[in-house]
Amino acid sequence: MLGIASIVGLFSACDLLENVYDDPAVEKQEGQYYVDATDYAQWVYINLHTTVPTITTSTISLDDLTETGAPQEWDIAHHRYDVKTNGASVMMTPYHSIEALEQAGLPSEGEWTADEESEQCITVDMSHMMEGYLVYAPGHKNTVIGQWVEVDTSNMPPNYTMHDNVMLLRFADGTYAAIQLANFMSTDSYQVKGWMTVNYKYPVFEGKGNSEK
């Protein structure tokens, strides 16, 4: 089952009305989403600028490496442990809960990192590994968010280390979101790697946004 996602969390009309920016079109979202990012030839797109997260899956052709099915409006996208943003910049915070980040306030210092372009951005085909090569597709991804799962291949099987630092995203419209990786394996007994459980809140730090990137 590829690209299937479920949303965890309850949203009431009162919650949405009480927690918004000055712009009433910006709805507040808070909860957890769970997406299947196991397929190397897919991106799973998340739109946080909606009443509840909108999730769309695209497919990468192994023939010409073109992508089909990507939505026009989106905020972040998952490919295995890779993440790309739609023009956002990202800061890894020292906090291990979104609540702790909010209590500390919007960071006045820290490094914001935009996505990086590469001709070999993501691995899309692992079937030639025993032949000594992998197939990569061009594109962009955010190297800071990509640190939330560290894969050590110096020994076999690989060793996986998860980092649950809250990532703060600053979008081009001046709003902020916070995301935190809660798990990178499926929640069933099989524990398949690549199923991403993510805590999120959008927007955070209401009224403190700016348009700088």
Query: Which residues on neighbouring strands pair with residue 51, listed in sequence order?
Result: none
Report yes or no on 47 lying in a domain: yes
- Which residues form the domain of 87? 5-204
The SS3 assignment for 124 reads strand
Q: Is residue 212 part of a domain?
A: no
Residue tagged 């991106």 (tokens): 43
**Residue 203: is the preceding peptide bond cis (ω within 30°)?**
yes
69 phi, psi to nearest 5 deg: 95, 5
State the sign of the Cα–Cα–Cα–Cα dihedral 169, 171, 175, 179: negative
Which among 23, 20, 45 has a CA at the least distance from the CA of 202? 20
Inside any domain, residue 210: no
Q: Is residue 211 part of a domain?
A: no
How far apart, in whole angstroms, are the C-alpha atoms of residue 171 and residue 78? 17
Q: State the pairing for strand pair 193-204/176-185.
A: antiparallel
Number of domains comprising the chain: 1
Residue 149 lies in a domain: yes
Is 82 domain-assigned?
yes
Q: To 5 degrees, how large is the angle CA 43–CA 82–CA 96?
A: 125
Task: Flag whether 209 is in a domain.
Answer: no
pTM given for the model:
0.85
Q: Which residues contact 148 (CB under 8 A, 6 or more apart)?
A: 81, 162, 163, 164, 165, 167, 181, 184
213 assigned to some structural domain: no
Q: List the chain pLDDT tens, one digit each, 213 residues.
A: 444 444 444 333 334 333 433 444 556 889 999 999 999 999 999 999 998 899 999 999 999 999 999 999 999 999 999 999 999 999 999 999 999 999 999 999 999 999 999 999 999 999 998 899 999 999 999 999 999 999 998 888 889 999 999 999 999 999 999 999 999 999 999 999 999 999 999 999 987 765 443
